[in-house]
């Protein structure tokens, strides 16, 4: 026998607007390729002198953020909601105290700014008013990225930087939210990033592979840019765990 | 209908009754995906691997030996090839991270007093979880800018907590530990450093960077206890399934490597110093389903 169902959040409205506050722990990855060294060929008939070994270095760093967003949900059917959200995340130092991130084995420095995002998806509402949500989130970040001259790769190379580097990131979110009081929902979620969008780095044309290899000496006077070291285009992605609270701020009746 | 509240834990499973929710000891198998977020922080500077050369003139081999007389070489970065033991260190405050997504399966044991569903009342239940995490069959993350590849191995963990349950939804708080197993292997940077030669061309022993048969060096992480605090939100879907998202916030620990290759520069010659220079913090988020075995009886 199935127990009778009481909807704790009786929902007759078509659209609900809520405010979310989210705290997340993220790993930000810059999917990049560097020339580790000129490779060599055993074949005596190979014409090219250099066969550059281009390897993924994919440096990553850990980031904590606090985000605020507005969440709008449309009741599609009795158990299904479609939602959209828009907000921004601010990197904060919750367990450590610095506002720049040294990563890439000492070779890169990132100074992230506030990251706006939009997302949309669908939610399944259970008999108790809890929600299981799945959605896509698109985050845009503008950060300052620079290379260091005392890291493990490209040691001794000049320090190069790019301010206001635009990073576009796409990720899949999965969230479970349980109602904790009237109008409040507490949720836990995971975010899995995809490397899809490319970010172009400044690039100097005409450099040979032996002038921009990570394990060799820098030739003084060579005009070089960040893209020559880490790739003409790189991709950023973010993976997170997050928790938050959602508060119903407005109900709009049909 | 009167329900007798049991105060002692019984090993027999309670039967589902028509009006109240399952009570007593419950065994709930769980399965899902576990996305591990490994945060590596440096406490002190960390030495880079070196190969001491008498001549301090190392170059990367550009072509095969057949043509090397006429074609030029490229100067290798001297910090890796000093002419006396002189380590260059990567700065403190360097951050590194890796993510890996693995499958997990486990069982949750929960003890519930009689509760009625639907209900506005809140119940508390002690929870014990035990789980195993399976090997990742996709590509493994690299760390330290591709100095190393981290290969997670099947490992297990357990935790306990308190669930706050209302109307089939629950929020659980607790703590536990993963007994982490992984393998760290030297990656493309070590392989590249091993492909160096010296001028005048002689046989150079690069076994500090790579094995004779060109295979990478590996070190094991065996039974590294990585504690965490966790928070889980779950909700019942229908009568049989629960869906949950479980967040584990890791406590930083010092990694310990076993079976470290001898006389190599895998850890700049001193794996204890390498271990003490870093802290590993393994947090994770899992998304999965569990089912109530009682409901199937």
Question: Mean pLDDT across chain A, nearest whole number?
Answer: 86
Minimum CA–CA partner of B80 in chain A: A215
Instruction: Tell me the pLDDT tens digit for each residue of A136-180.
Output: 999 999 999 999 999 999 999 999 999 899 999 999 999 999 998
What is the predicted pLDDT for the residue at B197?
79
Is A126 within 8 Å of B237 when comparing Cβ atoms? yes
Q: Is residue A241 pLDDT above 70, yes or no?
A: yes
A63 to chain B, minimum CA–CA distance in Å?
9
Q: Token match 């950023």: residue?
A: A236
Tell me the C-alpha distance between A218 and A232, whole Å.
19
Instruction: Tell me the pLDDT tens digit for each residue of A137-149.
Output: 999 999 999 999 9
Minimum CA–CA partner of B76 in chain A: A216
What is the predicted pLDDT for the residue at B11?
31
Tell me the C-alpha distance between A37 and B274, whole Å.
25
A232 to chain B, minimum CA–CA distance in Å?
17
What is the predicted pLDDT for the residue at A247?
94
Closest CA to A36 of B145, B174, B72: B145
- Read off the pLDDT band of B125 (50, 70, 90): very high
A50 shares contact with chain B (CB less than 8 Å): yes
Q: Are A34 and A234 in contact (CB under 8 A)?
A: no
Secondary structure in 3-state letters for chain B = CCCCCCCCCCCCCCCCCCCECCCEEEEEEEEEEEEEEEEEEECCCEECCCCCCCCCCEEECCCCHHHCCCCCCEEECHHHCCCCCCCCEECCCEEEEEEEEEEEEEEEEEEECCCECCCCCCEEEEEEEEEEECCCCCCCCEECCCCEEEEECCEEEEEEEEEEEECCEEEEEEEEEEEEEEEEEECHHHHHHHCEEECCCCCCCCCCCCCCCCCCCEEEEEEEEEEEEEEEEEEEECCCEEEEEEEEEECCECCCCECCCCCCCCCCCCHHHHHHHEEEEEEEEEEEEEECHHHHC
Pairs of CB atoms within 8 A across A/B: 226
Q: Collapsing DSSP states into helix, strand and coil, what is residue A211? A: helix
Minimum CA–CA partner of B252 in chain A: A95
Closest CA to A131 of A76, A178, A183: A178
B141-B143-B149-B152 Cα dihedral, nearest 10 degrees: -60
Instruction: Tell me the pLDDT tens digit for each residue of B261-296.
Output: 999 999 999 999 999 999 999 999 999 999 977 655
**Under 8 Å CB-to-CB from B47, ≥6 apart: which residues?**
B87, B88, B89, B90, B268, B269, B270, B273, B274
Which chain A positions have a beta carbon within 8 Å of B97's beta carbon?
27-29, 60-62, 103
Give the largest Cα separation in chain B, rounded. Answer: 97
- Read off the pLDDT band of B15 (50, 70, 90): very low
Instruction: Tell me the pLDDT tens digit for each residue of A50-61.
Output: 677 888 889 999
Tell me the C-alpha distance between A142 and B234, whole Å.
35
Q: Are B290 and B29 in contact (CB under 8 A)?
A: yes
Tell me the C-alpha distance between B32 and A76, whole Å.
28
What is the predicted pLDDT for the residue at A8?
41
Minimum CA–CA partner of B98 in chain A: A60
Residue B5, strand partner residues = none
Instruction: Tell me the pLDDT tens digit for each residue of B149-206.
Output: 999 999 999 999 999 999 889 999 999 999 999 999 999 899 888 888 776 666 778 8
Tell me the C-alpha distance between A235 and A166, whole Å.
11
* DSSP letter, residue A213: B
How many other CB atoms are found less than 10 A from the CB of residue B215?
11
Nearest to B75 among A186, A190, A217 (CB): A217
Tell me the C-alpha distance between A80 and B58, whole Å.
65
Which chain B positions have a beta carbon within 8 Å of A96's beta carbon?
41
Is B64 within 8 Å of A29 when comparing Cβ atoms? no
Q: Average pLDDT of B97-113?
A: 90
Which chain A positions have a beta carbon within 8 Å of B239's beta carbon?
2
């Amino acid at each position: 026998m199935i127990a009778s169902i009481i909807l704790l959040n009786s929902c007759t409205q078509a659209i609900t607007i809520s405010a979310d506050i989210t705290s997340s722990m993220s790993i930000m990855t810059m999917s990049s390729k560097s020339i580790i060294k000129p490779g060599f060929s055993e074949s005596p008939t190979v014409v090219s002198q250099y066969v550059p070994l281009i390897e993924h270095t994919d440096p990553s760093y850990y980031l904590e953020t606090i985000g605020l967003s507005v969440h709008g949900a449309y009741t599609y059917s009795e158990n299904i909601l479609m939602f959209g959200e828009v907000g921004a995340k601010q990197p904060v130092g919750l367990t450590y105290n610095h506002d720049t991130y040294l990563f890439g084995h000492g070779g890169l420095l990132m100074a992230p700014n506030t990251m706006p995002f939009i997302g949309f998806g669908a939610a399944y509402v259970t008999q108790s008013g809890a929600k299981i949500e799945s959605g896509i989130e698109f985050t845009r970040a503008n950060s300052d990225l620079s290379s260091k001259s005392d890291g493990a790769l490209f040691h001794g190379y000049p320090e190069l930087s790019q301010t206001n580097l635009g990073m576009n990131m796409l990720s899949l979110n999965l969230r479970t939210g349980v109602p904790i009081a009237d109008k409040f929902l507490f949720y836990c979620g995971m975010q899995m990033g995809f490397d899809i969008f490319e970010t172009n780095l400044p690039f100097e044309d005409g450099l040979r592979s032996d002038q921009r290899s990570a394990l060799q000496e820098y030739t003084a006077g060579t005009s070089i840019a960040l893209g020559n070291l880490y790739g003409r285009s790189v991709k950023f992605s973010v993976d997170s765990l997050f928790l938050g609270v959602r508060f119903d701020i407005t109900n709009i009746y049909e | 209908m009167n329900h007798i509240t049991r105060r002692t834990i019984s090993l027999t499973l309670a039967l589902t009754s028509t009006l109240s929710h399952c009570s007593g000891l419950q065994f709930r198998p769980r399965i899902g995906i576990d996305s591990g977020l490994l945060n590596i922080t440096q406490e002190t500077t960390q030495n880079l691997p070196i190969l001491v050369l008498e001549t301090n003139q190392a170059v990367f081999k550009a072509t095969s030996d057949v043509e090397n007389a006429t074609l030029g070489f490229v100067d290798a970065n001297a910090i890796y090839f000093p002419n006396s033991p002189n380590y260059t260190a990567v700065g403190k405050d360097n951050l590194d991270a890796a993510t890996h997504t693995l499958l997990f399966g486990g069982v949750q044991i929960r003890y519930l007093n009689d509760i009625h569903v639907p209900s506005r009342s809140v119940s508390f239940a002690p929870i014990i979880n035990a789980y195993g995490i399976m090997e990742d069959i996709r590509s493994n993350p690299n760390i330290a800018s591709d100095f190393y590849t981290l290969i997670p191995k099947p490992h297990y963990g357990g935790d306990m907590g308190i669930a706050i349950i209302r109307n089939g939804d629950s929020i659980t708080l607790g703590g536990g530990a993963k007994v982490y197993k992984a393998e760290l292997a030297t990656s493309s940077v070590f392989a590249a450093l091993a492909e160096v030669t010296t001028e005048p061309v002689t046989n150079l022993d690069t076994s500090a960077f790579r094995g004779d048969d060109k295979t990478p060096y590996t070190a094991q992480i065996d039974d590294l206890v990585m504690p965490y605090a966790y928070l889980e939100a779950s909700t019942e879907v229908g009568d049989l399934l629960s869906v949950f998202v479980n967040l584990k916030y890791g406590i930083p620990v010092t990694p310990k490597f076993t079976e470290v290759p001898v006389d190599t520069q895998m850890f700049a010659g001193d794996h204890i110093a390498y271990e003490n220079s870093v802290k590993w913090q393994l947090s994770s988020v899992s998304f999965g389903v569990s089912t109530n075995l009682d409901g199937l009886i």
